[in-house]
Amino acid sequence: MRAVGIEAMNVFAGTARVDVEKLAMHRGLDMTRFSNLLMKEKTVALPYEDPITFGVNAAKPLIDALSPEEKDRIEVVITCTESAFDFGKSMSTYFHNLLGLNRNCRLFELKNACYSGIAGLQTAINFILSDVSPGAKVLLVATDISRFMVEEGGEGLTEDWSFFEPSSGAGAVAALISEIPHVFQIDVGASGYYGYEVMDTCRPAPDKEAGDADLSLLSYLDCCEKAFLEYQKRVEGADLAGTFGYLAMHTPFGGMVKGAHRNIMRKIAKARPAEIEADFDRRVQPSLNYGQRVGNIMGASTLMAIASAIDHGDFSSSQRIGCFSYGSGCCSEFFSGVAGRDGQSKLRAQNIAAHLDRRYELTMQEYDELLVTNNTVKFGTRNVTLDPDFIPQARTTHGRPTLFLKEIKEFHREYDWVS
């Protein structure tokens, strides 16, 4: 079977964060319920950050590491998101331009709730496997942000926010997909997918999210079980407890992953509670480390879980990772791949944890002020100039050129590289 998968990948999660326990206390949430989120921090997108800045800042180190000849072999750019700011123009065109890629390139965007990142990954994998352009590479950028907005005086801070606010994050994962999968080699054909129509969550308007949290949880649990059973049917000898060294799952918040893991281990592996708890700590927790610090980044979430598993797991010998992606509405997929010591070293060279450490921690006062300022950049904003001095402590590059949104002129977004 031909080798194909992730040649290189990186995570970028902005420049500002909040401590979600402090936020939950600030909002007066039930702290006994909050503990079930298994969350520590979340990235907060500042007004001069958007899905483009997140995605470009994730991708740039990967592109800079390529030779001119290798860079010219990027023939497809796929954006995966539910945070696009235009109904027609693809954000992949901005990525293509800002990263200086070859113009002989396919540019398109996928929207499928939180499943979009894996839909893009599988699309890229199949392009490479088609062999229509031997040696070609695909740049995959999964990028999503959450923006909460209120009016002056705090109007809009209602109970409807509940636990959605502390779990919703912002960030991007960029990956190069090719026939030299240094970081993560896909098990070709080893995939089980499962989907049906359900109104669990949706975005009926660009800046509005709606849905039924309980229904979403039930749909997630159902899809996780059924997608794995389809994988098991297609992959001879697949065993939930024994086949995978690690599990990496779409992470709306850690508590949902823990519940899904408990459900499938009980139903499919027939494991007892103590076994399930130990298995969660050993095989699942490494994949949650980044999610617990960034929050739910929708289409990029499963890819970030894969990166977290590889960065934090023991890969002194190669390990197979079982991956589950879920997107509301819904579509899901269980697939797998293999990572090893060299891939872990290559990923660790990106210093993702150090990047997360450098984010500026917003005070609750700064965070509440930001919710008002967020009204300056809404979906459909035609003209605006962003204030670079808003929370200047966060606008830092730490020695690496970083892209920020400068202004919007007649709907076109213009950016600045800051060193």
Residues annotated catalytic, as ranges: 82, 114, 250
Burial 266-278 (b: 16+ CB within 10 A, else e): eebeebeeeebee
Whole-number Å distance between alpha carbons of 137 and 180: 9
Torsion of CA 356, 359, 365, 366, to 10 degrees: -130
Place of tokens 């289409």: 299
Contact 191, 121 (CB under 8 A): no
Closest by CA position to 170, among listed 25, 317, 297, 338:
297
Torsion of CA 186, 329, 209, 251, to 10 degrees: -30
Q: Are strands 106-110 and 74-80 parallel, antiparallel or unpaired?
A: parallel
Whole-number Å distance between alpha carbons of 286 and 314: 9
Whole-number Å distance between alpha carbons of 57 and 279: 35
Whole-number Å distance between alpha carbons of 354 and 369: 27
- Rounded CA Rg of the chain: 20
222: CB partners within 8 A, 6+ apart: none
State the sign of the Cα–Cα–Cα–Cα dihedral 342, 344, 346, 349.
Answer: negative
How many other CB atoms are there within 10 angstroms of residue 381's CB atom? 13
Strand partners, 175: 9, 140
